[in-house]
Structures are given as C-alpha cells and as structure tokens.
C-alpha cells in the first residue's frame, strides 16, 4: 500500500506541474488567499466573487486519503482535482492540456522503482 500511495504522490506532483494556470495579475490567486486567511482574513470575502481564481485547479489536485482494495493483492487510489469550483472546468482543461494523463504516465513510469524500493523496505535483512 505504501507503493500505491507513493505512486499517487508522483502522479500528483507531475499533474500539478502540467496543470494550466490562469495568467491574470488583476485577480486574487490561491496563494494570496491562503496567505490572507493565515493572517486572519475571511476566505469568502477574498474569493473573487464568481470570477476565476488563478492556480485553483493546480492547487486542488490531490489523492484520496483511503486506499481501497480492488482485488486480491490489488489496491487503488484516486487522484484528481478536489475543490468544488475547480471540478466544474477540470474536464475541459484535461481535454485541452492532458495534465492528468501526463501525471498518470509519470506514475506508471515510476511504479517499477517505487515497487523495488517498497520490497527493499519490507525484505531488508536485519
């Protein structure tokens, strides 16, 4: 299960790199909103009142917390955009840019070394 979670982290990392970000300096970005909330501001006031938020799609890509068992010795985890606002346009951006497909390809490529590392952790001699 550690290998599945580690592969999920790799998928998340690569999908975030490939995710498109709105380039509008006049709008409040996710990073600015989080910084203001830490300083004591209200997140609902800081959101752009129905306007797009630069970085929201990239910031919302996460893996699910629970690993589910699909079959005998087979586990799965879901990785994708999680925020209610970003899932409204995430499919369109996936069709246009393929950011999750790039993440999945990176996760599949990294699965061999991750599995080797996982078996090394389990079977190490003491």
Please give the model's pTM, rounded to 2 decimal places.
Answer: 0.82
Pairing of strands 79-81, 61-63: antiparallel
Q: How far is CA 108 from CA 3, 102, 119, 125, in A?
A: 11, 10, 17, 28
∠ CA 75-76-78 to the nearest 5 degrees?
A: 160
Strand partners for 126: none
Extents of the domains making up the chain: 2-123
User: What string of pLDDT tens digits covers the 126 residues of the chain?
Assistant: 888 999 999 999 999 999 999 888 888 888 888 888 888 877 777 675 677 888 989 999 999 888 999 989 888 999 999 988 888 899 999 999 999 999 999 999 999 999 999 888 888 765
């Amino acid at each position: 299960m550690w290998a599945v979670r580690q592969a999920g982290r790799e998928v998340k990392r690569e999908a975030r790199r490939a995710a498109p970000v709105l380039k509008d300096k006049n709008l409040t970005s996710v990073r600015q909103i989080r910084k203001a909330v830490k300083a004591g501001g209200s997140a609902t006031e800081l959101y752009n009142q129905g306007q797009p938020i630069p970085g929201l799609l990239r910031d919302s890509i996460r893996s699910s917390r629970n690993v589910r068992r699909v079959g005998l010795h087979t586990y799965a985890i879901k990785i994708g955009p999680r925020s209610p606002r970003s899932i409204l346009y995430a499919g369109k951006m996936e069709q246009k840019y393929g950011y999750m497909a790039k993440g999945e390809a990176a996760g599949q490529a990294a699965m061999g070394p991750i599995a080797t590392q996982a078996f090394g952790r389990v079977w190490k001699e003491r």
